[in-house]
Chain A
């Protein structure tokens, strides 16, 4: 076993510094040099960069190390095995591995490392999509603010628009935010909005009481109006009657359903009176379907 001089190792051969935040040993063990020997190939540290950095911060001068022979792919495989985090790598880390493979012209040999990163399928496409994101979206994915698929859809949007949209929708749940961002993009495509117009729309949205509702009404204007008309009709005619009127999903179908309970003759009489009014005014209701 060799000794790795920390000061020297921090500045040399950083190709394999792929997981800068991954320090698998706590400070106490590190202070006692209780770490696996760090593999190095010549002057290149193959694994343990975060560990070395932390050791430096703790004032350690050296750590155990071992000299390793192998080609770049073998060294990467070793680094991944030492990480021991299959299915636990972040998109950012997968992106680092992808970039490494690309830079070293090793993508054709990616099969050798894929199983060390995830147990099912390949991470390459995912990593590539991540790397293609602009910085602001990468950050959003890294922090769990949005998923990669949504981020991918938003890639073509102007950075100012993305910034403003992320601010406006920061208050919602992950799912609300996702829906809102998708709607925003769909509206911009549907209406061929320029960046200026989209930004203006976002400002209106931000100023509204409920930006999510505002956006939904803009994305689905007709359905929103139909739902509102139905709700108004129901409450005008049936509020307090105990009658439940239900529309077919998406206003797709033949008719509406009515349900009620009754506890006595008198109440049933009131229900029937209300139903008679419903019958008289049904034309208005059926306009929603035809």
Chain B
């Protein structure tokens, strides 16, 4: 499957909020897919209920504050990431993703007016001029799945490239980076790739780009001058997982470590409600225990072993900051011998931003 271009529209129809109907991103969409009906509405509630699904795109203004802090997870260390809700929803169909199920009854939402988000990032950057901010659009949707159509990342990159203390991360499971390569000033934009072994991609991430396509896209991005990041999340345990993941890690050896902004690790976890929705997925029937945030994770001892293995493998190949996503302080101590605040390479990654968020 080619991810470089959309030959056909991924949407059968588009609803656009009247207040943003003249935004460039809306024109880019309708110029590219003139055959797709564009229906003006005042608010989302006007969308025909039979169109409430992922074949519909809702082009909207940001709802509430466009830039928010990652909600984190009770009892677990958060990396103080800042999120921009740019694309809400995703149709890559990953078996472990709760959005997949919820999206059966929701359109994909694109916040087509980047101006409020950009203004807010600039404001936060000024307020935090003594620290580094990590901001990304991949929290509630894939940053690049639909970006070649709407080109909103480009708007962001061009508007904030001068901010020395802002790492702007576009996180994806696709290889859709080509529309970004020629942007002259890239600032500290990070192209982030979620990675899993080919067998996991094939089984659990059916509509995402394959591993090698993602790595090739990362290479193209790095060659064009972008920083890259890699996210092993979720790491799934199965017979032979060590060998498979070691092979993926090995492929990272070809990247110049200076070009790698960070690497994150997170083992598979699920909230109780997701278990029924994922019924029948074999890796769900490993041994999980309920953690302090109510989510189920592999047994602590097992997780520590998995992280140690991944960190050991990564250390052999790359010299970049590695952090854990949503893990307990006990796991941090056992994997890294300390908490992120005390680890030199991670201090800047984990520093909390100041200012209302």
Contacts and interface: CB of A to CB of B under 8 A. Distances in A.
B287 A252 contact: no
A287 to B, nearest CB: 8
A186 B285 contact: yes
A289 B301 CA distance: 5
Contacts of A186: 285
Interface string B269-300: 00000000001101001110111100001011
Given A289-B300, A290-B304, A252 B282 contact: no
A290 B305 CA distance: 8
B282 A223 contact: no
A290 B287 contact: no
B301 A250 contact: no
A250 to B, nearest CB: 3
Contacts of A192: 282
A189 B282 contact: yes
Nearest to B297: A252
Contacts of A223: 287, 289, 299
Contacts of A288: 301
Interface string A220-264: 111100100000000000000000000001111110000000000
Interface string B231-246: 0000000000000000
A223 B329 CA distance: 22
Contacts of B289: 223, 249-252
A54 to B, nearest CB: 43
Contacts of B329: 254
B286 A251 contact: no
A190 interface: yes
B76 to A, nearest CB: 11
Contacts of A287: 301
Given A189-B282, A289-B330, A290-B304, A222 B299 contact: yes
A66 interface: no
Interface residues of B, number: 20
B302 interface: yes
B333 to A, nearest CB: 9
B334 interface: yes
B334 A290 contact: yes
Given A153-B279, A254-B330, A289-B330, A221 B301 contact: no
Given A252-B291, A290-B334, A189 B302 contact: no
Contact of B290 (A220, A221, A249): A249
Contacts of A106: none
B285 A189 contact: yes
A186 B285 CA distance: 6
A187 interface: yes
Interface size class of A (residues with CB under 8 A): 20 to 34
Contacts of A226: 299, 301
A222 B279 CA distance: 22
A227 to B, nearest CB: 11
Contacts of B302: 222
Nearest to A149: B276
Contacts of B301: 226, 251, 287-290
A221 B300 contact: no
B280 A221 contact: no
A255 to B, nearest CB: 9
Given A223-B289, A252-B291, A190 B330 contact: no
B71 to A, nearest CB: 21
A290 B285 CA distance: 22
B290 A190 contact: no
A198 to B, nearest CB: 14
B35 to A, nearest CB: 32
Interface in A176-209: 186-187, 189-190, 192
Nearest to B276: A149
A221 B334 contact: no
Nearest to A248: B300
Contacts of A252: 289-292, 297, 299-300, 328
A250 B299 contact: yes
A186 B280 CA distance: 8
A187 B286 CA distance: 9
B203 to A, nearest CB: 13
A222 B287 CA distance: 8
A95 B285 CA distance: 32
A108 B146 CA distance: 37
A190 B286 contact: yes
Contact of A190 (B285, B297, B300): B285
21 contacts: A186-B285, A190-B282, A190-B285, A220-B287, A249-B289, A250-B291, A250-B299, A250-B300, A251-B300, A251-B301, A252-B291, A252-B297, A252-B328, A253-B328, A287-B301, A288-B301, A289-B301, A289-B330, A290-B300, A290-B304, A290-B334
Given A189-B280, A250-B299, A252-B297, 16 more contacts: A189-B285, A190-B282, A190-B286, A222-B287, A223-B287, A226-B299, A249-B290, A250-B300, A251-B289, A251-B300, A252-B290, A252-B291, A252-B328, A288-B301, A289-B301, A290-B300
Interface of A: 153, 186-187, 189-190, 192, 219-223, 226, 249-254, 287-290
In the A-B complex, list the 6 residue pairs whose CB atoms are closest, starting with the nearest. Answer: A250-B289, A190-B285, A186-B285, A252-B300, A254-B330, A290-B334
